[in-house]
């Protein structure tokens, strides 16, 4: 099991580790604002869909001194998890290149079998990217 750094661990608790890893991949290393509830057109809603984004926004919102729900401002998303995912994907690709099965590649990399199947499908359509 991978331990996610900082706010990514909170997001994983709220919406699952895949959502946290997607956020780390797309916005890791940058400052972001999160509203107290999801909004159409917000980067988080575009990335994860309204339901997951709303769950995260509401889960991370705080109540201020005036009893109002406020979102997070200028919160830094750690890069660590995105680097871990890249490493895991690279391990999976190496295992597949070595002739390992999807199941073996999943065990070696720590990724889900479905992720490995998606990687194989992307590779078949686009060719190897790394």
Q: HEC profile for the chain?
A: CCCCCCHHHHHHHHHCHHHHHHHHHHHCCCEEEECCCCCCCCHHHHHHCHHHHHHHHHHHCEECCCCCEECEEEEECCCHHHHHHHHHHHHHHHHHHCCCCHHHHHHHHCCCHHHHHHHHHHHHHHCCCC
Q: Is the pTM of this model over 0.85?
A: no
Structure confidence at residue 81 (pLDDT): 53
pLDDT in tens, the chain (130 residues): 457 888 999 999 999 988 998 998 889 889 999 999 999 999 999 999 999 999 999 999 999 999 999 999 999 998 765 567 777 888 899 999 999 999 999 999 888 999 999 988 887 665 555 5
Structure confidence at residue 11 (pLDDT): 95
- pLDDT number for residue 36: 97
Q: Can you give the pLDDT at residue 113?
A: 92
Question: What is the pLDDT, as a whole number, of residue 125?
Answer: 61
């Amino acid at each position: 099991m991978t331990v996610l750094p900082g706010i990514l661990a909170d997001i994983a608790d709220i919406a699952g580790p895949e959502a946290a890893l997607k956020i780390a991949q797309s916005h890791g290393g940058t400052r972001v604002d999160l509203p107290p509830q999801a909004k159409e057109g917000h980067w988080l809603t575009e990335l994860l869909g309204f339901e997951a984004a709303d769950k995260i926004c509401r889960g991370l919102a705080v109540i201020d001194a005036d009893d109002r729900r406020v979102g997070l401002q200028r919160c830094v998303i750690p890069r660590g998890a995105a680097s871990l995912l890249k490493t895991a994907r690279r391990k999976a690709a190496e295992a597949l290149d070595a002739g390992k099965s999807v199941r073996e590649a999943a065990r070696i990399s720590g990724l889900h079998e479905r992720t490995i199947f998606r990687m194989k499908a992307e590779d078949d359509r686009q060719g190897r990217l790394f």
